[in-house]
Structure 1
Amino acid sequence: MPQIETLPFGQTGHMSSRVIFGSFAVKDATKEQCADVLQLLYDYGVNHIDTAPSYGEAELRVGEWMARHRKDFFLATKLDVNGYQQAREQLQRSLNRLQVDCVDLLQLHNLTDETVREFVMAEDGALDYLQEAKDKGLTRFIGITGHGFQAPQRHLETLERHAFDSVLTPCNYMLMHNDAYAASFDQLREYCRQNNIALQTIKSAARRKYPDRKWTHQTWYQPLSDPEAIGKAVTWVMGIPEVFVVSSGDLTVLPHILSAAASFAGPPEEAQMQELVQEQAMEPLFT
């Protein structure tokens, strides 16, 4: 089976698979489903897992893997609290759930609200604990994640105040055809390139918001479901050098993302993407 290519994950020294497993997909999964997912990750050479304490039972499911397979994966989790003591308690809970003594990457979750950022970066804020956790070996690296239209710009502002090892932000064909978003994303990408910061992306296989709010998948947005459509959307993002793609939070989409990434030989042409938008009635998630 073809393997997904790897790239240096910033300055961490780790060669990460370009698709990072987004463990939101197993937040409600059965043991049998989790076993199938783990086998898929091995089949395609995925060696990097992203999880979070807010992803239902995902940390517990990943922890069951880590008990036997820790050495095979670069493991990332997150903090979604503002204060030092809260952050300390949350990380300890995550380490217990993940059945590990330390993680490879600890990220501040969705750090895009300017007011929240001030609390996080204040004295005795969550960032103080993040740095302490790194100094104590509870995490090897620290990063930031974000959602929404303003994420790239907010990340740039945050990076100017503190040196993080990684960032995570939305990126897909529809978003990148908004001139304002594309400009801020490209600025973030260039900053990351110059400073050797790993750039992770999410929402590659997004189709649109749910019509009439009728959910058909596990994700809050409606993902693409046709394998060929998923392949085009994912490989378009992979056509941006240096970026990593965090897989969708829906188990039915995951195999098609991995298959497309393993066969990646270059992005689709613009005409193919425009045709995809029309065929799938794709719409921007953020404006």
Structure 2
Amino acid sequence: MQRILNSRHLTGWLLAAPLVVVLAIFLVLPVLMIVVVSFWQATEFSIVPAFDLGNYEFLFTSHVTLDVFWNTFRYALITWALTLGIGFTVSWFLAFHIRSQTTQVALALLCTVPFWTSNIIRMISWVPFLGRNGLANQAFLSMGLIDAPLDWLLFSDFAVILAFVHLNTVFMIIPILNSMMRIDRSLLEAARDAGASPFQIMTNVVIPLCKPGIMIGSIFVLTLVMGDFITVRFMSGSQSANVGRLISNDIGLLQYPSASATSVVLLLTVLLVVAGMLRLVDIRKEL
């Protein structure tokens, strides 16, 4: 019996070995290299491979970098809240108000239509709509809602958040919808028979059973927003910044040690956020 168990154990390791090798080469080693480079020194003309904590000291003492990190968290939290509200509402409608499974699938696939084009194309499409002479301002002017075009619709924090929500809402819809479709409808009927209101059914039955899906969607949205820099650059008109753009600027200036240090701090921050979320909900139920 022990020989059989040892054989199965060895077989399991052999089957996992190729994936372990791939992950070690293309994930672990690059991350280790980034960590090592983050302790190097950089001058105007060269990079010195010497141990130095100056890059991290600058990150944690500079008001500029602290403001950039706060800006990143602010974008992530606002986008998460909006995508959660939209994703939960859309998923609720598809799961509990659409009777036909074919229609449910068709409408769920319709939510993925924007992904048939690139993120940049979808961001640029907002420019003629939100611009000073764009469709939104022209519509508001024609209806008499405003006397002059609104300047804050484009190249502002509003435009950045709008683009983030547009790009990432589907990552919240699909996991939540998957959780809602697994809910036994007899539980909802039992709650109604017990006299529960629709709000009580949602808060006491649906939301607790949808926690794994909500957590998966939240992890997707938060990690994507915190690592994004193209959206902030285009939609803010280069008037705002986040950590991703800070890293991009350092790379453009060939300041690889500084970029590596910022990347390490961002990676650790994201890992801590994800670890904290995983402590709250066991998402293995959805996997």
**TM range, smaller chain:** under 0.3
Please state which structure has a larger fraction of its residues in helix.
Answer: 2
Of the two structures, which has the highest relative contact order with CA contacts closer than 8 Å and spacing of 6 or more? 2
**Under a length normalisation based on structure 2, what TM-score does the superposition of the two structures give?**
0.21
Structure 1-normalised TM-score? 0.21
Greater strand content: 1
